[in-house]
Structure 1
Amino acid sequence: MGDHHYFIGIPLSNAMRDEFTALQQLLKQDMSYKNWTHPEDFHITVKFLGACANPVLETIKQQLMGYLWPQPFELSLGPADTFGKHEHPRVFHISVESSSALMMIHEGVEQICEQTGFVREKRKFSPHVTLAKKWIDGLSPLAAEEVDSRFMRRYLMDIDRFCLYRVHPQQSPKYEVVYEVRLPRGGGVGGTVN
């Protein structure tokens, strides 16, 4: 069972999925990528865990359930951005605001994972939504003289949960929600059943 990989991430609303699927179609007019994210797989990664044994997953679930998470919050997404060379970036993504509530979730997840034996991520947390990765060909529309306004747009999304995902590399969509943490409304611990 330990051969599956897992990560913790924030799912996108249907409205955001639709917006970013439209942006992917726009991007496909200019660029070829090996991997285009399936719309159902759009997410903001909080932490990649890699391979996990079941007892470790259980411990993480228990810790996630008992942690004091921030209340639901609004998050700003956009504009489009890239990792790698500006003209032909290896990753094309939507940038995500590093809001204090998002940083609290990230820090809580890092603490829980560290206690469970995971190494704390050294790189600075840069939240984003990947639209495409592994550049093959084409010129980034963000490198154009005049950038299409649709890539510069900002969006607001309500965040009320985050999830533990299992990765199925051979499938499409490839991310399966194994556990959901709902953010507490009006204070109190999320995920508990009284």
Structure 2
Amino acid sequence: MTPHYFFALVLPDEIKQAIAEEMETRHHLFQKSVHPEDYHLTLAFLGSVSGEAIKGACEHVQQAVDTVSSFPLTITGFGTFGKETAPRIFWAGTDEPAALFLLQQKVSSACKRAGLKIDEKPFRPHVTTARKWLNAEKPFKQLRETLVWPFFTAAEIALFQTNVKNEPKYEKKWSCTLKQLGEDKHNGPIS
């Protein structure tokens, strides 16, 4: 199977761990739980593209976010996509700051300037945690809880490659950091 690629906001390890701990009481409700190392917030899905196109996209994204500052982000609760009584995606949402939407627009526009066709669905920031409601006879009940986690600093964007036969299945191929006052940016080559 041809690998797919996407740009995503990288979550700090402590946030991945906090989401995984919340999912421990819920993962049995779904056919497939996402491995905690695979938690991320997608900014632009590229699909199957050539290595040269990937390199160009990384260069364009780097230029587009070169002046973007890191920003606070908070995981706030769970939600679903799909049929209300049998959702296909279970996710953790964010407080949706304007800076996140601006970052997504910059990454998306950079991909288009690089000549890539990307998924044009409206941006709905989320971290997928599980897929496919397991019990067809018992309808899913939407959770009405709010999670209270400390904010974290959204500071790194990465290009990931999907390896469906591996667990975890997303491999970081490139990344760049957002601007932080008093710090130099450290950006890596495409591996």
Whether TM exceeds 0.5 here: the answer is yes
Length, aligned pairs only: 184
Structure 1 residue 98 corresponds to structure 2 residue 93: no
Alpha-carbon contact 2:91-2:128 (below 8 Å) kept: yes
What is the CA-CA distance between 1:161 and the residue it aligns to? 0.7
TM-score of the aligned structures, taking structure 2 as reference length: 0.85
Q: Give distance in 1, aligned partners of 2:187 and 2:16.
A: 29
Structural mapping, 1:1-194, within 5 Å: 3-28=2-27, 31=29, 33-67=30-64, 68-119=66-117, 121-137=119-135, 139-142=139-142, 147=144, 151-155=145-149, 156-186=151-181, 190=185
What is the CA-CA distance between 1:187 and the residue it aligns to? 8.7
Aligned CA distance change for structure 1 residues 19 and 188 (closer, same or farther; 3 Å): closer
What is the CA-CA distance between 1:107 and the residue it aligns to? 0.8
Alpha-carbon contact 1:6-1:51 (below 8 Å) kept: yes
After TM superposition, the structure 1 stretch with the greater mean CA deviation from structure 2, 105-114 or 166-175, is: 105-114
TM-score of the aligned structures, taking structure 1 as reference length: 0.84
2:142 aligned counterpart, secondary structure: helix
Q: Give distance in 1, aligned partners of 2:51 and 2:45.
A: 16
Q: Which runs of 5+ in 1 are unaligned?
A: none
Q: Give distance in 2, aligned partners of 1:128 and 1:16.
A: 13
Alpha-carbon contact 1:94-1:131 (below 8 Å) kept: yes
Letter in 2 for 1:74: P
Q: Which runs of 5+ in 2 are unaligned?
A: none
Q: Give distance in 2, aligned partners of 1:124 and 1:77.
A: 20
Q: Give distance in 2, aligned partners of 1:22 and 1:188.
A: 32
Alignment root-mean-square deviation, CA:
2.4
Cα deviations by residue, 1:119-178 (Å, 9 ceiling, x for unpaired): 3543210000111012222553535xxx5xxx4213322111110001101100000111
Q: Give distance in 1, aligned partners of 2:13 and 2:54.
A: 28
Q: Give distance in 2, aligned partners of 1:62 and 1:185.
A: 20
Q: Give distance in 1, aligned partners of 2:51 and 2:96.
A: 31
Alpha-carbon contact 1:93-1:130 (below 8 Å) kept: yes
Alpha-carbon contact 1:74-1:159 (below 8 Å) kept: yes
Cα deviations by residue, 1:77-98 (Å, 9 ceiling, x for unpaired): 1211111223321111111233
